[in-house]
Amino acid sequence: MKALLVMPSLDNGYWKKLGKKVGPKSEPLSLLYIGTYLNHNGHKAEIKDCEAEGISLEELSEFIRNGNYDIVGVAMLTSMFSQSLEVCKAAKKVNPEIKVIVGGSHASVRPVETAQEEYIDVVTIGEAEITFKKLLDAFEEKLSLNDIPGIVFKENGRIIKNEPDPKIQDLDVFPIPDRDLIDMKLYRPSVSYYKRLPAYTMITTRGCPYRCTFCATANTGYRMHSIQRVIEEMKLLVEEYGAKEILIRDDTFTLNRKRTIELCDAIMKDGLHKKTIWSCITRAGLVDLELLKKMKEAGCYGLHFGVEGGTQKLIDTIHKDATLDQIRNAFKWAKKAGLETRGYFMIGLPGAQKEDDLATINFAKELNPDWAQFTITVPYPGTQLSKDAKEYGNLTSSSADWDNYQTWSGFSSDEDELPWVTHGRNSKELKALQRFALRSFYFRPRVVLRKIRKLDNLPILKKYLLGAMALAAGGSGRPPE
Ligand code: B12
Ligand code: SF4
């Protein structure tokens, strides 16, 4: 069967205003994994990334019409809900016989509600490589969908939910994503996420065993690609696609210390550390100085840590299971090992009053990472926070519209309400605080000087200027009243 996998445009809210210039054009790893698996297993899959290719719905419809596809698969994160539905509708309008299959973070946690949407035939729950292949086999052979685990589907107007699909433990059963399915030249991370271009992304593990209440990947277990497989994929990115930098998008890259060391050794054994630099994301409690030095030696230049809150109470409320001192140590050791650091901080966490958010901003300044990201707390469906939303705050009238579930809303119009605010706060104030946090962090003389000192080429200067312009876009350097 011939399938087209579509990444809808992200063109709404913050993205429209700011994201086009400074936001990421991130390879759709999800679709690459699925498409590659299908192509290795008797089907034909192509990918259309509306965001990266900058194509309109009309152009997409034309493409679908010309391609004679049997199946259109559409990705759905929460904040792209309406864009995803538009793609489903466009596919059905081209040809009602096309089967429309939707998957991804949002569809996976609201499969029944999503399947009720008019233009959707099937929703997949969770990781979908094998499920998608089984669906295509069934459509090809005109078999019932009742025996395919991990889906919700429509049959004669009824919604049927099948048994869940067990998670695949051996990730190596999925072939290395075939990047020739997309135009790699279109992709680069957000401006502050890379040092050298081309900078491409990959994953070496899936899932996270921790339980942070705001996180859509909490409690999802932890599975790994083999070291050999990771090296093969890194080599491919370097040798075939010219990657000068690799961003490893795992949730908690250093969770398994022994594996991290083995991987670093393998990278050095293959000489990959001389050809590319890399960065990764992890938790404060999962690093130590020795490990970090090893990672640096193996070409790692940057480490991202989810800090979230600047008081122990905030951190405990969201079940981050970390202490402020663990966090301080992680940043201290990373700097000592010669690594760049990035901290992720959240504004408007459950129970946070203005002084708590200001404490978070001050903690960010105390840790003084090279990059700090301040996002607004959003109760994504399926998270513990979405279950506790009413206990800790109020869902606003805008919560009914999934497109508002964006963590960068501080840069959308002040008239737009956040979907949720914790008790005692309001949308306008939190949005202003997000802009204030970013400006007050970056526009400190020591930070500006540090950035200037690290300037070593023109593209880097350009990206800093773009970032600075984006930050300057909103208001004064004083905390909002
Ligand atoms: C890379 C990434 C991005 C990239 C690219 C996203 C993309 N286009 O793929 C960028 C940086 C652009 C991004 C942006 C955002 N992201 Co993001 N991102 C991730 C990250 C770190 C990795 C995703 C990934 O590639 N995983 C590897 C692949 C193999 O796994 P996967 O994506 O889960 O895909 C599997 C299944 O979900 C399913 N599937 C996925 N797509 C499809 C499509 C079809 C048709 C089918 C059938 C199945 C299917 O099958 C896949 C293969 O098994 C995840 C965290 C995580 N660990 O997943 C967050 C995550 C997906 N992002 C998240 C969020 C919140 C965002 C933002 C909304 C943040 C914001 N700025 O406000 C924006 C979205 C912007 C917008 N306007 O829509 C949340 C999603 C929550 C939700 N309910 O939507 C996640 C889960 C983070 C988290 N832990 O909370 N993100
Ligand atoms: S925030 Fe990070 S550590 Fe916490 S559950 Fe999510 S991925 Fe895991």
| Ligand 1 midpoint to CA 79 (Å) | 10
| Ligand 2 midpoint to CA 217 (Å) | 7
Distance CA 134, CA 36 (A): 14
| Ligand 2 midpoint to CA 156 (Å) | 40
| Ligand 1 midpoint to CA 142 (Å) | 32
Contact by Cβ (8 Å): 277, 245: yes
Terminal C-alpha separation, the chain: 59
From residue 460, alpha-carbon distances to 175, 243, 453 in Å are: 34, 17, 12
Protein residue closest via CA to atom 20 of ligand 1? 249
pLDDT of 45 reads 98
Report which of 95, 88, 148 is spatially closest to residue 124, judged by C-alpha positions: 148
Phi and psi at residue 285, in whole multiples of 5°?
-75, 0
| Ligand 2 midpoint to CA 253 (Å) | 11
Distance CA 204, CA 224 (A): 6
Which atom of ligand 1 is nearest to 249's Cα? Answer: 21
Go through the domains of the chain in sequence order and give each one's CATH number.
Answer: 2-161 (3.40.50.2300), 188-472 (3.80.30.20)
> Is the distance from the beta carbon of residue 48 to the nearest atom of ligand 1 less than 6 Å?
no
Overall pTM > 0.85: yes
pLDDT of 411 reads 84
Distance CA 275, CA 264 (A): 14
Ligand 2 binding pocket, CB closer than 6 Å: 208, 210, 212, 215, 217-218, 251-252, 283, 306
Residue 400 token pair: 């009914």
Which atom of ligand 2 is nearest to 283's Cα? Answer: 3
Q: CB neighbours of 358 closer than 8 A, spacing ≥ 6? A: 479
| Ligand 2 midpoint to CA 123 (Å) | 25
Distance CA 457, CA 32 (A): 32
* H or E element in which residue 152 lies: strand 151-155
pLDDT of 92 reads 98
Q: CB neighbours of 311 closer than 8 A, spacing ≥ 6? A: 324, 356, 359, 360, 363
pLDDT of 463 reads 66
Ligand closest to the CA atom of residue 319: 2
> Is the distance from the beta carbon of residue 285 to the nearest atom of ligand 1 less than 6 Å?
no
Q: What is the DSSP code string of 117-157? A: STT-SEEE-S--HHHHHHHHHHHHTT--STT-TTEEEEETT
* H or E element in which residue 84 lies: helix 81-94
Distance CA 273, CA 297 (A): 8
Contact by Cβ (8 Å): 246, 236: no
Which atom of ligand 2 is nearest to 216's Cα? Answer: 6
Per-residue pLDDT of the chain (481 residues; tens, 9 = 90+): 999 999 999 766 555 556 566 778 999 999 999 999 999 999 999 999 999 999 999 999 999 999 999 999 999 999 999 999 999 999 999 999 999 999 999 999 999 999 999 999 999 999 999 999 999 999 999 999 999 999 999 999 899 999 999 999 999 999 999 999 999 999 999 888 999 999 999 999 999 999 999 999 999 999 999 999 999 999 999 999 999 999 999 999 999 999 999 999 999 999 999 999 999 999 999 999 999 999 999 999 999 999 999 999 999 999 999 999 999 999 999 999 999 999 999 999 999 999 999 999 999 999 999 999 999 999 999 999 999 999 999 999 999 999 999 999 888 888 899 999 999 999 999 999 999 999 999 988 777 777 777 766 666 666 666 676 666 665 555 677 6
> Is the distance from the beta carbon of residue 83 to the nearest atom of ligand 1 less than 6 Å?
no
Q: Which segments within 322-391 are labelled E, that is strand?
A: 340-347, 371-376
Distance CA 212, CA 446 (A): 32
CA angle 282/284/290 to nearest 5° reads 90
> Is the distance from the beta carbon of residue 407 to the nearest atom of ligand 1 less than 6 Å?
yes
Q: CB neighbours of 96 closer than 8 A, spacing ≥ 6? A: none
Which atom of ligand 2 is nearest to 218's Cα? Answer: 5
Protein residue closest via CA to atom 5 of ligand 2? 218
> Is the distance from the beta carbon of residue 34 to the nearest atom of ligand 1 less than 6 Å?
yes
pLDDT of 371 reads 94
Number of C-alpha atoms within 13 angstroms, CB side, residue 26?
Answer: 22
pLDDT of 297 reads 98
| Ligand 2 midpoint to CA 342 (Å) | 15
Distance CA 89, CA 76 (A): 14
Distance CA 267, CA 164 (A): 37
Number of C-alpha atoms within 13 angstroms, CB side, residue 301?
Answer: 16
| Ligand 1 midpoint to CA 104 (Å) | 7
| Ligand 2 midpoint to CA 221 (Å) | 11
pLDDT of 23 reads 76
Which atom of ligand 2 is nearest to 281's Cα? Answer: 2
